[in-house]
Amino acid sequence: MKTPYEPSNALEAKMLHDLLLQEGISTRIDGAYLQGGVGELPASGLVRLVVDEHNYERGRDVIKRWEATEVPIPTAPTNPPSKALGAAIAGCHSGLTYRGSG
């Protein structure tokens, strides 16, 4: 087994594990549960994603494509919620009554 990538945390490892499985590359995550011991263990280098040696180059290629992918930055909605929606929400809220003790 070889390590094509050392994720920064278990979540990233799981995401890449699933991505590689979609490409037909069997993987294993080592050290995912060690992060619970941070404080007594070094804070980095705990999690490793490993693949069989014959899948190492293919795995690296998939990970390189993933690293090169740009995440789109969300923009403001072009169609803001209508006033009717705001009125409906306000109407629901105004139907609530307070029943004090006594």
Other C-beta atoms within 10 Å of 24: how many?
9
Q: What are phi and psi of 44, to 5 degrees?
A: -135, 165
HSE of 86, CA atoms in CB hemisphere, 13 A: 4
Would you state the pLDDT for residue 100?
A: 54
**Which parts of the chain have pLDDT scores under 50?**
98
Would you state the pLDDT for residue 24?
A: 93
The domains located in the chain, with CATH, are 2-68 (3.30.70)
User: 43 vs 1, 7, 12, 82, 87, CA distance in Å?
Assistant: 24, 12, 15, 48, 50
Would you state the pLDDT for residue 89?
A: 57
Which amino acid type is present at position 1? M
Q: pTM for the full model? A: 0.54
- Residue 29's DSSP bridge partners are 49
